[in-house]
Structure formats: structure tokens, C-alpha cells
């Protein structure tokens, strides 16, 4: 019976030789590291108003939601957040999930099934890929952010139900999908467009309403939006926003909604407070944009190929997985946290540091972080 454990140990040794071992690093409450690895783009996770709203809900409702949304898990806090999210994203309705991962699984599986042609951008996040794999649909992987290639794929399947799945701002390299052009293609071929807006909400669009809104696509009947509540909004959870008929379908049939415990009311209330701050946070968005331009200039001057980020994510190429690990560890030893992305997290098989900009840290700390990243480069 121990053979299965030996097989796992063998796989672990293989990963170690390839530089693909992963390690949990626990963060203390008083951690002083300058954070360019987390996704708290606007610095709202520790905002006093966000924390106060969460504490009030914690005192009112207790620690957890105590059940699924359809049993005892739905509260006024959930309903209020969903109403404001729908208005912010320009959708008829919104439905909150306990994670962005489950929201993506639920959205893909609701829109596609046996007989559907499901087209997925090559660089999509793992949650979208897993949703595609579990949908039962025929899946075609499309070249990255390529409207012409998408048109050719969709044009080869007339008369079929079709869905195209993409991110707005891609989670590894931070590049922006040409959403308006992609929608022109999907519209011409009677295809639904599903956009994961996780890395764009709070940053792009009027009042931070996201990449879909910035592209002029908010509220269209053939566009569905998903997002996490854990990045610009500083909390946890996910959302699907779209036509009322879709939300009704998800409530009635969506397994990742029906059978999952609801997100805690304290988290939901904190996210709601963060959303209200975000809508008026043009100053924080301006800081983020300035830091994106500064980072691209600084790293380009140091010899790296780093374009100005579309939102808050940018990647710096590393020679390989072990070099990326060593680079990130050296930065961490000097008080700077950076992301280290290696296969299979990278869609093209290469390794890099991923930097996530943060408007909530001081300019002095941010400048020091860039110096350390350059000085520690392999």
C-alpha cells in the first residue's frame, strides 16, 4: 500500500531536479517586507474603512456564513454587494462566489457543454482552463490575443453554439487583450464572449469599472464578466456579472455556487467598503500608472525587456526556473517580496519574476524595491 507514496516521492524528486519545487512561506502580522508579489494593487486590504466595515459585520453575523448561499449563507451584506457590483460593472445582475476560481469554473460550465465549441486563449488562467476541461465541450486553444486567428476558428464552425474565453489583463505578463476587436469577431460569428476581468477591475475604466467597461462592452447581452474580489478590492471571493437570465440559471443549476459555503459576511462587507473607496480612487490609480511607467523605464534601462504594464502586472524574464527562484530569494533576503513564476504557471514554458504594483506603499520603499530587483538580477 506504500507504493503510491513512493510514486509521489519520485515525482517530487523529478520536480526538484527541474527547479519546480514550491514552498509555503508564512507571513507574520508584523511583516515588514515591501510587497510586490501580492495583488493588493490599490493598497485597500489594510484601509481603516475596510477593516472597520469588516469588524462591524463580524460582530453582527459572526465568523462564518454557516452554510451555502441557498441554505443560510446569504445575508443582506451579500445582496448589497451584488447590487453595487452589478451597477459598477454595468451588468443586469451579479452573483458573488467564495473565490474567483469557483466563479470561473461556474461561468464556463454554465455557458458551454456537450455540442458547444469552446475557444480559449492560449494564455488563460488555470481556473478558466480547468473550467474548459470540465465542461464537456469541444475545446480549441486559440493563439494569444489574436482576433484574426479567432475569426478563422469561429468561421470554420458555422451554426454551432460557441463561446470564446479570455482574460482582459493577463495574469502572468499583464498584457491587455484587444477586447473591442475580439468582440467584433465574436459578435460577427454569433459567439458569446466570457471575460475574466480580475486584474483590470479597480484599475482600468471609468471609476475603475474594468477592462470590459473600458472597451465599451459593459452590459452587452453577449458579454459575461467574471472577476475576483481579492485583488484591487483587497478581500476574497469572486463574482459573475451578466444578464439576469444567466444569474438565475447559476442559482438554479451552478454546482460551484449551490454546493459551496458562502463567503463570510465580514469579508463581503469589507469588500463592499473597498468597492466604494475604489470608485473614487482616481488618485490611487494615477499612482499605480506612474509606478508602472517608472518600473518599465528602470528595468529597461537595466537591460531587461519590460513593456509599460496595461494595469498592475508586469513580468521580468529570467534565464530559467532555478535562476528565477534564486533571484526571488535574494530579493526576499533584502526585504522585497516578488512573484516567481515557473512552469506550469507560465503558459509559454519560460520563467520570470512577476511584479505586482502597489499604490499603498511609500515611494521611498517602491524606489528601493526596484533598486534591489536590479541589483539581485542573475
Q: Is the dihedral of CA 13, 19, 24, 30 positive or negative?
A: positive
Both 299 and 266 in a single domain?
no
> pLDDT tens digits for 102-116?
999 999 999 999 999
CATH number at residue 34: 3.90.1150.10
* Residue that is last in its domain, among 279, 294, 320: 279
* Residue that is last in its domain, among 229, 244, 279: 279
Query: Bridge partners of 94?
Result: 241
DSSP code, position 163: E
Mean pLDDT split into 10-residue runs, the chain, 378 residues: 85 87 82 93 97 98 96 97 98 98 98 96 96 96 98 96 98 94 98 98 98 98 98 98 98 97 98 98 97 96 93 92 92 95 78 94 97 95
- Nearest C-alpha neighbor of 142 from the set 160, 121, 111, 162: 121
Q: What is the pLDDT of residue 271?
A: 98
Both 264 and 306 in a single domain?
no
Q: Is residue 12 part of a domain?
A: no
DSSP code, position 68: B
Both 313 and 342 in a single domain?
yes
DSSP code, position 312: S
Q: Is residue 90 part of a domain?
A: yes
Number of other residues whose CB lies within 10 A of the CB of residue 68: 16
Give the domain extent around 210.
48-279
Both 267 and 289 in a single domain?
no
Both 199 and 263 in a single domain?
yes
- Nearest C-alpha neighbor of 102 from the set 202, 198, 210: 198
**Three cell numbers at 36?**
510586490
Separation of alpha carbons 102 and 100, rounded Å: 5
Total number of residues shown for the chain: 378
- pTM (predicted TM-score): 0.94
Q: Is residue 104 part of a domain?
A: yes
Both 92 and 142 in a single domain?
yes
Residue 69's alpha-carbon distances to 1, 84, 221, 229, 256, in angstroms, are 40, 18, 26, 17, 11
Both 183 and 241 in a single domain?
yes
Q: Strand ranges (DSSP E) for 209-302?
A: 223-228, 238-242
Both 290 and 272 in a single domain?
no
Q: What is the pLDDT of residue 1?
A: 52
Amino acid at each position: 500500500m506504500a507504493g503510491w507514496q513512493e510514486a509521489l516521492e519520485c515525482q517530487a524528486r523529478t520536480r526538484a531536479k527541474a527547479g519546480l519545487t514550491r514552498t509555503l512561506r508564512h507571513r507574520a502580522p508584523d511583516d515588514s517586507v515591501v510587497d510586490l508579489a501580492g495583488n493588493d494593487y490599490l493598497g485597500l486590504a489594510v484601509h481603516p474603512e475596510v477593516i472597520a466595515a469588516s469588524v462591524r459585520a463580524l460582530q453582527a453575523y459572526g465568523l462564518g456564513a454557516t452554510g451555502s448561499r441557498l441554505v443560510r449563507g446569504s445575508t443582506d451584506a451579500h445582496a448589497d454587494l451584488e447590487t453595487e457590483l452589478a451597477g459598477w460593472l454595468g451588468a443586469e445582475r451579479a452573483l458573488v462566489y467564495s473565490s474567483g476560481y469557483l466563479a470561473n469554473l461556474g461561468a464556463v460550465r454554465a455557458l458551454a457543454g456537450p455540442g458547444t465549441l469552446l475557444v480559449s486563449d492560449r494564455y488563460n488562467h488555470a481556473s478558466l482552463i480547468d473550467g474548459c476541461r470540465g465542461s464537456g465541450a469541444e475545446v480549441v486553444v486559440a493563439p494569444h490575443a489574436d482576433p484574426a486567428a479567432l475569426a478563422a476558428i469561429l468561421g470554420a464552425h458555422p451554426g454551432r453554439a460557441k463561446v470564446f474565453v479570455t482574460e482582459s489583463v493577463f495574469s502572468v505578463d499583464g498584457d491587455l487583450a484587444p477586447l473591442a476587436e475580439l468582440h467584433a469577431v465574436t459578435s460577427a460569428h454569433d459567439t458569446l464572449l466570457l471575460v475574466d476581468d480580475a486584474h483590470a477591475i479597480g484599475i482600468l475604466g471609468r471609476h475603475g469599472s474594468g477592462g470590459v467597461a473600458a472597451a465599451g462592452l459593459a452590459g452587452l447581452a453577449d458579454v459575461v464578466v467574471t472577476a475576483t474580489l481579492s485583488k484591487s478590492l483587497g478581500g476574497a471571493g469572486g463574482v459573475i456579472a451578466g444578464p439576469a437570465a444567466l444569474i438565475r440559471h447559476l442559482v438554479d443549476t451552478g454546482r460551484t455556487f449551490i454546493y459551496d459555503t458562502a463567503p463570510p459576511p465580514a469579508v463581503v462587507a469589507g469588500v463592499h467598503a473597498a468597492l466604494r473607496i475604489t470608485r473614487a480612487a482616481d488618485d490611487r490609480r494615477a499612482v499605480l500608472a506612474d509606478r508602472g511607467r517608472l518600473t518599465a523605464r528602470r528595468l529597461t534601462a537595466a537591460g531587461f525587456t519590460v513593456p509599460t504594464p496595461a494595469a498592475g502586472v508586469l513580468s521580468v524574464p529570467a534565464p530559467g526556473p532555478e535562476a528565477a527562484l534564486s533571484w526571488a530569494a535574494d530579493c526576499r533576503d533584502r526585504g522585497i517580496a516578488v512573484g516567481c513564476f515557473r512552469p506550469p504557471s507560465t503558459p509559454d514554458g519560460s520563467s520570470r519574476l512577476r511584479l505586482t504594483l502597489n499604490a499603498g506603499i511609500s515611494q521611498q520603499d517602491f524606489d528601493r524595491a526596484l533598486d534591489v530587483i536590479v541589483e539581485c538580477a542573475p
